[in-house]
Chain A
Amino acid sequence: MFPPAAPYLVGREKIREFSRAVFATSPLSTDVAAARAAGYDDLVAPPTFPVVIQEHTLQQLLAEPDSGIDFGRVVHGDQRFTFTRPIIAGDELTATLTVASVKSLGGHSMVTAESSIVDAAGEHVVTAISTLVVRGDE
């Protein structure tokens, strides 16, 4: 387990920017009045938004001098997000990375990295799980 990453404050404009980048058209992600009418305090992030926060934790892993992971050889194998609640603009989120497993498979290694993301009260929001495939020497 790694130390928690620095807290990430979810901005309204960041949610709008990310929404546009993934072709999200839900007004709940762009229009504060629509989000409030649906019962939320502010804009609701698209389902893959936690990748922005996960990205910071994966940088911790890749920066680890003895991780043996060469970024140029990393391929994203799979990804999963499991939510307790959606991410809302104004949330201050903290991610903690755990390397859940490392497996070798035919010269490649598969690293499963799990980022548990909690809010300012310490309550679970979402867990992001990535499997990275590190290609071996050819």
Chain B
Amino acid sequence: MTASDLTVGEVVAERDFTLIRDTLVRYAGASGDFNAIHYRDDIAQSVGLPGVLAHGMLTMGFAVQPVVDWIGDPGRVLDYQVRFTRPVPVDATDGALVSVVAKVGALEEAAVRIDLTVTFDGQTVLGKAQVRVSIA
């Protein structure tokens, strides 16, 4: 693939992710982030939150996966950044559905910047979510 095969604004990948409480416990173990607001409603509520929230880093972690699958190699990611703008509450019975749309943001000779739109409940949860991948 070369930059001339792509157009700025073109959607290259999209995928929906269903998070349940088990997802958060699994991520806590895998990442080492055992902050209890990600698995205990009582503790989340004691610090003024509506209930258990997804780890921001979990959302960052899966949001890039449609791009990895599109480019076919996680080793092609050169740079990945996000701002955490809104929390993702994960209901104990209903879970949370998070949608990711990946579009071409900018083209370079040997790299492309993909911009991610990540939404929960109709609102974006990540800001300035940008992945720079090598197409060399």
User: Which residues of chain A have a CB within 8 Å of any CB of chain B?
Assistant: 14, 17-18, 20-26, 28-29, 38, 40, 44-48, 51-52, 55-56, 71-72, 75-83, 85-86
Contacts and interface: CB of A to CB of B under 8 A. Distances in A.
A48 B33 contact: no
Contacts, number: 112
Nearest to A35: B75
Interface of B: 17, 23, 26-27, 29-33, 35, 47, 56-58, 60-62, 64-65, 68-69, 72-75, 77-84, 128, 131
Contact of A20 (B17, B26, B33, B58): B26
A21 B27 contact: yes
Contacts of A23: 17, 61-62, 65
Given A72-B47, A83-B79, A86-B74, A55 B31 contact: yes
Nearest to B37: A72
A86 B77 contact: yes
A79 B68 contact: no
Contacts of A28: 73-75
B84 A21 contact: no
B69 A26 contact: yes
A47 B30 contact: no
Lowest 5 A-B CB distances belong to which pairs?
Answer: A22-B61, A21-B30, A80-B81, A86-B75, A48-B61
